[in-house]
Amino acid sequence: MALWFYFMQKNLAKWLIVLAVGIGIALVPAPDGVTKQSWTLFAIFIATIVGSIVQPMTGSAMVFLGVIAVVLFGALPMDKALKGYSDTNVWLVLASFFISRGMIKTGLGKRTALHFIRLIGKRTLGLGYSLVIAETFLATVIPSTSARMGGVILPITRGITETFDSHPNDESANKLGTFLINLLYQTEVIICATFLTGQVSNFIIADFALKYANIQLTYASWLTASIVPSLVSLIVIPLMIYRFFPPEIRSTPKAAGFAQEQLNEIGKMSFHEWIMLGIFVLVVLLWATKKMSIVVWGITITNELDTTLVALLGIIVLLLTKVLDWKDVTQEHSAWEVFIWYGGLVNLATSLGETGLTKLFAEKMASYTNGMSWVLALAVLVFVYFYSHYAFASITAHVTAMYVPFLVVTIAVGAPAGLAVLVLAYFSNLTAGITHYGTTSGPILFGVGFVKQKNWWTIGLIASILNILIWSVVGIMWWKTLGWW
């Protein structure tokens, strides 16, 4: 009983915020043309988003509560409230998490990172790039930033900093650790933007782009549009950190030695690692070539396999070959949490869009940009969208709350739909770099203790300005070349 009272007292303020937002909106008269049912859905949706930010319960639990609430208060029937869990993208994300489990369990992810460090990690900047390349490799199929960073990259980084006697929470942090952690996080958000599988919310963005702009973002089209500005950012941002926030240690020959020692300890690739590598390559290849055709001996072969089916078949092979067992699948808690909040939250957002509220918001916002050219209006709206992330503790919360309204508004002011979709999609990821809580990997890296908050936010602000410039100039020119606008 005492524990229950302690729990309630600790979370009371958070619950009061959530309830105040939900009840406050519900008590406001619905706008003209909006039904009471739709307004109730809006109130519960906003309360769910706020709950996902302040978290009196975990984000997935808040979404589950929101799904039940819309049925309980008559905003949606039960079958429609649960419709999101049959979305193929929900199962694609789930399967991708299981693949990440295989990468970590077999040690293939760690082995890959160590090889890059051994090859180009003899100088500090090269060491940083080796970790970036390793994570980029993992991001081609793993949408979990916590799995990539917390499960593979960070443990290796900590081993290297210990080798150079660089420790958190003291002056030795500046030898190497501070530089590497800053570099890892600022490049992490760029990697998130590079691939559809860069992080989970990208699948939500793809859903919204199709439903609200009739533009399909596939694995291949997302990567094709992102690759050029991404490469520029991945070169420029580490150089900026190295130039203006340099480490005390500039040469790291011990890093290559550390990597080699670790590789020697691991030994030769196991049978399960070879299977994992084969599945990894095959899944990425089939994702990247969907709808593409090749001619073999005069016969045209087109890859028509559904993206989700490819991922699920990969999991079946991993189970049949014992790379994973069923216990691995059931105990992948992060995957099932994402399944709950993804399926629920996307469905709530989609149902809300069908009420007409999004259109009303777009019309209201568009009225403030009267007299502006669409170029200027787009710039203003995107700037607001980008830096509003200071108020969000996750990319998902930001995307579900603001992506659709800002997409509809930018199109309404005359911006080409393809350009609006891409700018908002990539900026949704890049904006997470401005704070230490901007996305899942932020608290993981910040919690290590190598970087002070002032230093983190300063570098985040500078990197955000550079990323905006790079993706607004190089990106837009590249997208014009590709015919997106």
Query: Is 285 exposed, middle or buried (CB count within 10 Å of its CB: 0-12, 13-18, 19+)?
Result: exposed
End-to-end CA distance of the chain: 61
**Same domain for 147 and 3:** no
Number of domain units in the chain: 2
Query: Is 5 exposed, middle or buried (CB count within 10 Å of its CB: 0-12, 13-18, 19+)?
Result: exposed
Which among 217, 222, 232 is positioned nearest to 194, based on CA atoms? 222
**Same domain for 65 and 93:** no
**Same domain for 145 and 119:** yes
Q: What is the pLDDT of residue 339?
A: 87
Residues 170-179 have pLDDT tens digits of 899 999 999 9
Which of 56, 81, 106 is the endpoint of a domain? 81
Asked whether residue 433 is domain-assigned, the answer is no
**Same domain for 206 and 154:** yes
**Same domain for 65 and 101:** no
- C-alpha span between 198 and 196 (Å, rounded): 5
Residues 192-217 have pLDDT tens digits of 999 999 998 999 999 999 989 999 99
Asked whether residue 417 is domain-assigned, the answer is no
Asked whether residue 351 is domain-assigned, the answer is no
**Residue 138 to residues 303, 390, 480, Cα–Cα distance (Å):** 23, 28, 29
Say which residues have a Cβ less than 8 Å from residue 136's Cβ, sequence separation at least 6: 191, 194, 234
Sign of CA dihedral 203, 209, 210, 211: positive
Q: What is the pLDDT of residue 437?
A: 83
Which of 30, 64, 81 is the endpoint of a domain? 81
**DSSP string covering 393-409:** S-HHHHHHHHHHHHHHH
Asked whether residue 345 is domain-assigned, the answer is no
Q: Which residue in the block uniquely carries the two structure tokens 């092979």?
A: 317
Question: Tokens standing for 457?
Answer: 């936010």
- C-alpha span between 200 and 100 (Å, rounded): 13
Q: What is the pLDDT of residue 295?
A: 57
Asked whether residue 451 is domain-assigned, the answer is no
| CB contact at 8 A, 478 and 228 | yes
**Same domain for 23 and 6:** yes
Strand partners, 295: 300
Question: Tokens standing for 291?
Answer: 């709808």
Q: What is the pLDDT of residue 302?
A: 65
- C-alpha span between 143 and 193 (Å, rounded): 11
Q: What is the pLDDT of residue 217?
A: 95
Rg for the chain, CA atoms, rounded: 23
Distance of CA 273 to the CA centre of its chain: 26
Q: Could you give the 3-state DSSP secondary structure of residue 299?
A: strand
**Same domain for 119 and 74:** no
Asked whether residue 393 is domain-assigned, the answer is no
**Same domain for 110 and 75:** no
Distance of CA 19 to the CA centre of its chain: 28
**Same domain for 98 and 72:** no
- C-alpha span between 346 and 201 (Å, rounded): 10
Q: Say which amino acid occupies 423.
A: V
- C-alpha span between 228 and 470 (Å, rounded): 10
Asked whether residue 375 is domain-assigned, the answer is no
- C-alpha span between 364 and 466 (Å, rounded): 31
What is the domain range of residue 134? Answer: 89-330
- C-alpha span between 144 and 58 (Å, rounded): 17
- C-alpha span between 405 and 361 (Å, rounded): 7
**Same domain for 207 and 93:** yes
Q: How many residues does the chain have?
A: 485
**Same domain for 323 and 290:** yes
Q: What is the pLDDT of residue 23?
A: 93
Per-residue pLDDT 10s for the chain (485 aa) are 555 554 556 678 889 999 999 999 999 998 887 889 989 998 998 898 888 778 888 878 888 999 999 999 999 999 999 988 888 888 888 888 888 889 889 999 899 999 999 999 899 999 999 999 999 999 998 888 888 988 899 999 999 999 999 999 889 999 999 999 999 999 999 999 999 999 989 999 999 999 899 999 999 999 999 999 999 999 999 999 999 999 999 999 999 899 999 999 999 999 999 999 999 899 888 888 876 666 556 666 666 788 888 889 999 999 999 999 999 999 888 888 888 887 888 788 778 877 777 767 766 776 777 778 999 999 999 998 999 888 777 898 889 888 988 998 899 889 999 999 999 999 999 999 999 888 888 888 998 999 999 999 999 999 999 999 999 999 999 999 999 99
| CB contact at 8 A, 267 and 278 | no
**Residue 59 to residues 147, 281, 382, 423, Cα–Cα distance (Å):** 18, 33, 26, 27
| CB contact at 8 A, 42 and 349 | no
Q: Could you give the 3-state DSSP secondary structure of residue 302?
A: strand
Which among 99, 15, 93, 22 is positioned nearest to 54, based on CA atoms? 15
- C-alpha span between 341 and 78 (Å, rounded): 16
Which of 302, 330, 358 is the endpoint of a domain? 330
Asked whether residue 194 is domain-assigned, the answer is yes
**Same domain for 65 and 119:** no
Q: What is the pLDDT of residue 172?
A: 94
